[in-house]
Every structure is written in structure tokens, then in C-alpha cells.
Chains A and B, each alone.
Chain A
């Protein structure tokens, strides 16, 4: 009886995926514990965040993909509406308008879009599956660019890039022709000067700083200088847990959130970094297997996009901390402190699990 209940409970959990996610989250807790100066309270809070996220993941995993598809349009429209709301009535914090007050709490609608975009585009392209043509791709691209534009405007370049990437992956996997991608790429290069003029001063500064961090050692260059020192001084095997001097001497900014990788890399060294990359690769590999096995175009595109977006998170964050990408506010997936990001990520993995575990039911 209990056994049957248990089986019922775990029936939609993808065990291999979960088996990689859990060690990743454990590594995150370990890094937070050290980065916060051994603040157990912070670790506990993150554990609560993770538990909530896992529960939500389980819930989503139990929803069949065809039901998930039904949420695509409403979620997308709601997200769009909220983004417009932010643009009009949003609360300004740190010079950016990202939050919207809803009754007692405030929400960040761009977070919703991270899931709504792959859902929406995958759903839309599946509906056009039989007659998929250039016009459909153009429509999908428009659906993507509308919210991305609003988010760039906030301004939240990091989130905009992630959402743009997640949408692009759907289009790419759906077979967007190489010629068009090349054309878009060239158009992008050609319009770079225009984009440059639209960027906010601080965004430009961050890109300039990337090429020469010493230009602005008190501002954004400071982050990069300090985080590369942290990583570099970690060496092959790291200084050991709690022993990172950069992290603990207050040299590192945002060291429990966006820059946690510097703490991790200083304390666990190259070995730790490679281990982390391997864990990420395992997650990505499992996601790709789920995508390939997925029975419908919708679920294939969704699974592929979620997987590649997860990779993008990890790459952008580690690239930023190690100084090969500009500083954009992207947390290190499953490692950085913060509830929103872990919930969004695990909701995505819940969808992967749903796709994988409902496969047989669809086929029969």
C-alpha cells in the first residue's frame, strides 16, 4: 500500500535528472555557507527556497505536456500585460524599473517570461507544424522580440539576453534556416553601432570595462578585478572550504548571489570548477536525451529550449565572473542564493520531467 503510494508519488520524477540536480544544489548550499561567512540562517532560507522549488517541480512534472501547452497562451499574454504594467507603473529600484506591486507583494514579470516564452513559441510552432513556413517564423520572432524589448527597456540586459536566447533556441531547433540566421547575424553586426547608442551609460561602461577592467577599478571593473584574483588565486585544487581570503576579506561584491562562483572557484580550485562543469553537462545531456525522445514537436522544442537556456545561464555567469563576458546580473543556476531563480529553474526541469514521464502514455 505504502509502496504503491510511493510509486505513485515518484512516478513522474525523472530519477537521472534529479540525481544530478540534488548534488548541484548541495554544492550551492556549501558555497552559500562559506560565502555568507558561515551564516546558517542563510543556508536554511535557501533550503526552504529549494524545498518549495522541488515541490513545484514535482507538481509540474505531474501535469501532462498537452496540458502544459494549454498554459502557453494565457501565461504569455499575462506576462506581456504585466511587463507593460511594469513599464507604466513599475517600481524603480537600483535605477531599473523591474518590479510591479501587486497587493501586498511585488513581482518581477520578466521572471514569468523565462518560462512563458519557450512554452508559447513551442506551442505556436506546433500548431503550424504541418505548414511551417517563413511567415510563421517571423510571427514567432515578433512574439519573442516584444517582451524582450520591454525588458531591455527596464533596463535588465541580463534577463533580456536569457529570454532572447530561450526563444531563439526554439526557433533554431524548429529548423530556422541557416541563411536567415546568417542574415540576422550580419544585420546584428551592422546595427551594433545603433544598439550601442541605445544602451544605458552603465551598460556601455560594463562592456568597455570588460576589455580593460583597470579603466574603472572603483566601479564595475572592481568586480572583475576582484573575481579574477579570487579564481586565479584558487589554483588547481583550491584553498579549501572557508579558506578563500578574497571572499572573506570583503573584496568580493555580491558574493552570495551573482559572484558566488568566484568564492566557489577560489575555495575549490580548477578541480572544483571542472566538477561543476561536469555536473552541468550531465544536466544538459539528460535534457537533450529527453528532448530527442520526446514524442511531439511541442515537447521536443520545449525540452530543447529549456536545456539550452539552462546552459546559457551557467555559461553567462561563469563567463562574467571569470572575466570573458560583461557583467550582467545573471545568477549561477542552482548555486547562487535566491528563491526566484531556483524556482524558475526547477519549474523548467519539472516540465522536462513531465515530457519524459508522460511519453509512454501518449504513445499508447
Chain B
């Protein structure tokens, strides 16, 4: 009986399954039926239509490249634009023997060895069916000459193209960046982002700086023309089209005239400068000296120029403001002083008697002050004004590495600022964990001492220093620095202003800020280490000098600048914000091998502040070597 029910159940189950499977079969037949209907429609009913499309008049879709957006400074001065010109282009796969073609072309049109080399390089990087420029910016005579001889050169064409141009050449080149021809890596990235369609027809893409970071905005939307072509591939008529939409125009936060003043102020020196508006995080000037001419890179740089730029000992391609890492040196002291006050480790009246060195309890090693014999009795104010090392050795020891790491970290040291260009490095604010990870060593008391005066493991980029100064000027509130101020969308005609990005931070106590501010003001007045900055100025400047060592000085050696090779001289550092009572600009300057902060970096700062706050152009543009040498006694 039992067995029978089970058998019956089994039968029933199988029956249900068969029904379900049969339904599945019907489903299959119906959907395949749809396919058959579709095939019949395409291949029988509409066959002629499609045959026409495929055989006689092929349809081809021609992308129409949009105009790249302009780049302008905050006042509307054009920094990057496009102009139309003729290029001579070769499609290698259609051109036969390349060498002969180029030699033939050279008979009627000027082709420099430089052009040949560049073409060769482009050829190596591209695929065969692309057409590559051999000469750009042809004049009318050249165009006419080629047109008359065109039949001799299959695969060679003259094309009207838009060219990117940077009218200010080197000015702010490290911030603006440049575009270049799309290479394999770019293609891969485009494919990943599913952007290939929009780049059909585009040859160039942002490679560096704002041009790279804002590629999406600048590029625009590629339009297309659907055209009927005859058997020879010539367009017969346009069937439909969508016009391209120009890329958005970028208004930078940079002030190109301020930038110009700043770059000229460096003279022959190498270095970097970043100026930020503290309340908004807008980067007013972004200098890395020497710069380079971005126009060279647009169509592939020729090997001669490339070698010159790449092999120069001045490293013009190195973005010092963004990627140069320097020990902050004494510019670290105002931040340390504020740490001492805020964390209650120092009162303004606390005074040390400086013998010219500091020793840790139970250790004979002497951490020397830059001034042999010391500064006598030093309180917080004086420690900043005359940049006393001994004061900060002791303060660092009392604060300890954790306090320093946490408090100084609020100024953005050791972290990327998040500025809107690629390639930023994070500098280094050392901590116990970091040292254990990096060196597998525990933290020693001596490590803290050198960190206290911005030496030791400390590293900061000029951008970070400027950012830290801006945070200090803004009373502890960090506003992320950025280079693009607003974006004009050419599709909608609307301008979008970049939102302020408060990166965090609680305001510090007003009285503590005031102490540090007053001391920093005295730094820039007669008696301070940067007396040339504030002396005689109608506004107050809060500043601090610094020196970053390039070579290590042994325990019993004295650093004598004149004896050291130029490239081994110390880097001069200077940070400042002004007007001190209502800061409109905060800046950081590094003059490589410039000696002491006050003597070389200070005058650069003065010119910038005079221009920015008073609109006064410097009468004589550059600081010279002699200038620096005169003030040798004016030590850090």
C-alpha cells in the first residue's frame, strides 16, 4: 500500500514536472519564433534597404571633434586656447615606403630633421592606420604647393585642425599642465571608463596638471555626421548629424599677473612658491622654477627638446611645488609654539636660558643651536623672532612624539592636501608607528628633538607648507586648496563655482593665536630674521624663515656657506600671511640653494605681497646672487 502511494506520488510528481517542462518548451518555441520573425523582417522584408546600406552606399559615421574648453585665470586672462591651422598628415599604412614619401615631401615643403625625429617617435607609439602629423602650422603657400603635387603622395593629406596653444608659455606651466597625443595607456583608461565613443576622432587628451584633472570638463561632447559614402569612401551627403558640444571653460584661482611677479622674483634661482587665499583655499600663485614650455608637448616633443628638458640638472619637469619634499626647518616653529600653548606645555612667559645647545637628561649628546653660545634668556615670543633652536628642542621633548604628530597633523603635514591636480606627494610627519613600519625601530627621544625644529624625518612640500600657513592664518580651519575657481558649461551657458571644501579643524584659542601672530609679525620687522619683508610696508606681515639642509653637517663642523658648492648650499624657506590682522594671502616659498630664508626667500615674498595687497609692481624684478650674499650675517 505504502509503496503504491509512493509510486503514485512519484507518477504525479513526474506529471507535474512534465507539464512544467512542456511550458518551458512552449516558451522556447515562442521566443525562437520572435527571432525567426525578426530575421525574416531584417533579411527578407527590409533586405533591400539594408543591402543598399551595406553594398552600394555605405554609411559611415564621422565623428566631429568638439572644441576643447579654454583655461583662463581668475581675471579672465587666457592661459590655454585653440586655434585652427593646417597640418600635413601621413597615414603610414597607405603611404607606401615612408622614407621616400617624406623625402618627396621635403622637396616641396620644409621638413626639419626635428620634424622627422618627432614623426619617427609618433610612429613607434601608434598603430598603422592612424594618420600622423609630419608638419604642423603650414602656411598658405605650402598648402598650395602640396595641393598641386598631391597626386604624387598617396596616404598624405592636409587637414585643418584645431591646435591647443598656451599663450603664456612657461607661466604656471606646472599648474596648467598640457595636453598630448592619446597613447595606449590613455586608450586603456578611456576604455575602462567607457569613454571610447566620445574620443572617436580626438587625437589629444590632458596629460598633466589642470588639463589632465579636468579632462572630462574640457573635452566636450563629440558630435557626429552620418554620411552616405560612395564606393571610393567620399561623403556623398549627410543623412543626419549632431553638432559637437564644446568643452567647458575653466576659470582658475590663479592670478596670472601675481604668478608672473612671483616667477620673475625667483630670477635665476630654482624653487617653488604657493600662495593661497586662507578663507577660500583658492591658490593664487603656483610656482615651480624652472618651468617649461607646455607648447612643446602637444604633438609629441621632439627628442632634442626632450633631452634638454629631461637631462637638465635644474629638473624643469619636476613639479617642485607639488612633489618636492623638503624639511620644513624653522618654518615649523610657529606651529610647534602653538602646540605648546594649546596643549598647555608652555605659557607665554615661560623662559629658558639658552646656552647654545640642548641635552637630554642622562645623555651627553649636544643638540646645537644655530647660534654658538646661545641667545641668552628666551621666551616664546623671542624664540620665534630670533628662531631659537634650543627652545624648541626642549618643547619637543616635553610634548613628545604623539602630541606633535596629532597636533601638527591638524595643519595638514604628512597628508596630501587634496589639491585638484594629479601627482601630489604626502610629505612626512613622523610618528612611532611610521618609524616602526619603515625602519623596524622604536622611537628614540632624540628623534623627537630634531622633529621639533622641522628637521629629522620631517618632510613637506611647498604646497603643504602654504596650506599649513593658510590654516594658521584661518585660525585652524582648513579649507582645501584648489586651482579651479569656476567652470563655464558651454552646453548650458551656466557657470558653476567650485564649492568650498572645509577639510576640518576647530578654531584655536584666540589668545594663543595672537601670541604666535605677534611673534611672527616681529619676525618680519627690524630685529627679526626676515626684516626685509615687513620693513616699511604699510601692512603687517606674519612670517617665519627657515633653512633646509642639503648636506649633513657633522657634530664638530661648522657650515660655512661660501665654502659649499652652490648645489649643496642650504635651501631657503619662508612662510607668511598678510595682512596679519585680516589675512588675504598665505604663502610658502622655497628657494633651492638660496642660503637663509630671510635673505633670498624674504624679498620674493615682499614683491608678491606688495603686488597682491597694494597692486605695486616691483621696480627691479629679480633677487640676485649678490643680494643674497650681502645678507649672509642675517642668519636663519
Contacts and interface: CB of A to CB of B under 8 A. Distances in A.
Interface of A: 92-95, 169, 172-173, 175, 201-202, 214, 216-220, 222, 228-236, 245-246, 249, 251, 265, 269-270, 273-274, 277, 280-281, 284-285, 288, 291-292, 297, 300, 304, 308, 311, 315, 318-319, 322-324
A225 B634 CA distance: 76
Contacts of A175: 16-17, 20
A218 B13 contact: no
Given A94-B191, A222-B61, A308-B28, A292 B17 contact: yes
Contacts of A173: 17, 20-21, 24
A231 to B, nearest CB: 5
30 contacts: A94-B191, A175-B16, A201-B194, A202-B194, A214-B226, A218-B222, A228-B42, A231-B39, A231-B50, A233-B50, A233-B51, A236-B43, A236-B44, A236-B47, A249-B58, A251-B58, A273-B39, A274-B36, A277-B32, A285-B25, A291-B21, A292-B17, A292-B21, A297-B13, A304-B17, A308-B28, A315-B32, A315-B35, A319-B35, A322-B35
Contact of A315 (B31, B40, B49): B31
Interface string B19-55: 0110011011001101110111011101101110111
Nearest to A169: B24
B501 interface: no
A233 B44 contact: no
Nearest to A173: B20
Contacts of A277: 32, 35-36
Given A229-B54, A281-B32, A304 B21 contact: yes
A96 B154 CA distance: 42
A235 B192 CA distance: 37
A246 B192 contact: no
A308 to B, nearest CB: 5
Interface of A is mostly: helix
B44 A322 contact: no
Given A94-B192, A304-B21, A218 B200 contact: yes
Given A217-B224, A217-B226, A228 B13 contact: no
Given A218-B61, A228-B42, A274-B39, A288 B21 contact: yes
Interface of B: 13-14, 16-18, 20-21, 24-25, 27-28, 31-32, 34-36, 38-40, 42-44, 46-47, 49-51, 53-55, 58-59, 61, 63, 191-194, 196-198, 200, 222, 224, 226, 240
Nearest to B43: A270
Contacts of B224: 217-218
A93 B192 CA distance: 7
A245 B54 contact: yes
Contact of B47 (A219, A230, A233, A297): A233
A232 B39 CA distance: 8
A230 to B, nearest CB: 7
Determine the main DSSP class of B at the interface with A. helix
In the complex, the 6 A-B pairs of residues with the closest C-beta atoms, listed nearest first? A232-B50, A219-B197, A233-B54, A232-B42, A218-B197, A270-B43
A191 B44 CA distance: 39
A296 B633 CA distance: 98
Nearest to B49: A232
B43 A235 contact: yes
A270 B40 contact: yes
B216 to A, nearest CB: 13
A291 B28 CA distance: 15
A90 to B, nearest CB: 14
A288 B34 CA distance: 21
Nearest to A289: B21
Contacts of B61: 217-218, 222
Contact of B192 (A92, A222, A323, A324): A92
Contacts of A323: 38
Contacts of B58: 249, 251
